[in-house]
A and B are shown apart, each in its own frame.
Chain A
């Protein structure tokens, strides 16, 4: 299957419409190869893409905060072990997602930097 520039642009626009949804934005991401990101990044407005990343990071931070609160409660002897485990698991998944997306973005950036002019 070949991935053209228009496919990449479509994937990005889908990612942007899924702004509040972390999972949907991440799901749209795999369709984009690092090489194909380059033209699409030029098409999409820098601000809106930044806003998407910002909201993703914000959500991840909120999940991590929940995990921390639950862990603190558990240490204090007031928390529930099941809640702690699920909260920490959710935080781990969210962090893994944001790290994977970040790696993809950095990969695309270095790809541009190494481009022969």
Chain B
């Protein structure tokens, strides 16, 4: 049944956005995570990537998480000679996490999640209205 399938597809969208939200939470939580060793790399920002996936069982194209990849943008650098993670020159590398970008991403994930929820709600109400025909 197509309406049932559309609910399943929307559910994969919910899963994908929930994972994206988890990755954003990880990025925000680790915004200040520096290296454990002197001169080492700090936390590297990560992003979730998705792709369209044809489900042969019901013929619908759902969304699938390809993986969580690292953001290759350069790290920040602050002068903090007392920090255990500082290199010989006294600089500490900071994660390439930008609060503003994370917030924008979070909003996008939130809106997308909401859109999928609305699609589920619409499909459910369509099913219910169809069923009302024989009531």
Q: In the complex, what distance in Å separates the CA atom of A90 from the CA atom of B4?
A: 8
Interface of A is mostly: helix
List of B residues within 8 angstroms of A80 by Cβ: 15
A-contact bits for B1-44, CB 8 A (1 contact / 0 none): 10010011001001100100000000000000000000000000
| Distance of A88 from chain B, by nearest CB (Å) | 11
Q: Does residue A68 face the partner (Cβ distance < 8 Å to B)?
A: no
**Given contacts A30-B134, A100-B134, A101-B134, is CB(A86)–CB(B11) below 8 Å?**
yes
Which chain A residue lies CB-closest to B10? A86
Within 8 A of A (CB), among B114-135: 120, 124, 127-128, 131, 133-135
Q: Which residues of B contact A26 (CB under 8 A)?
A: 131, 134
Q: Are B4 and A23 in contact (CB under 8 A)?
A: yes
Nearest CB in chain A: distance from B78 CB, A: 40
**Main SS class of interface, B:** helix
Cα separation A82 to B13 with both chains bound (whole Å): 10
User: Provided the pairs A29-B134, A104-B134 are in contact, do residues A93 and B127 lie with their beta carbons within 8 angstroms?
Assistant: yes
Closest to B4 in A: A90
In the complex, what residue of chain B is closest to A96 when comparing beta carbons? B131
Q: How far is the CA of A38 from the CA of B40 in the complex (A)?
A: 82
Q: List 23 A-B contacts (CB under 8 A).
A: A23-B4, A26-B131, A30-B133, A30-B134, A80-B15, A82-B11, A82-B14, A82-B18, A86-B120, A89-B7, A89-B120, A93-B4, A93-B127, A93-B128, A96-B128, A96-B131, A97-B131, A100-B131, A100-B134, A100-B135, A101-B134, A103-B135, A104-B134
Q: A26-B134, A93-B4, A93-B131 are in contact. List 10 more A-B contacts (CB 8 A).
A: A80-B15, A82-B14, A86-B7, A86-B11, A86-B120, A93-B127, A96-B128, A97-B131, A100-B131, A100-B134
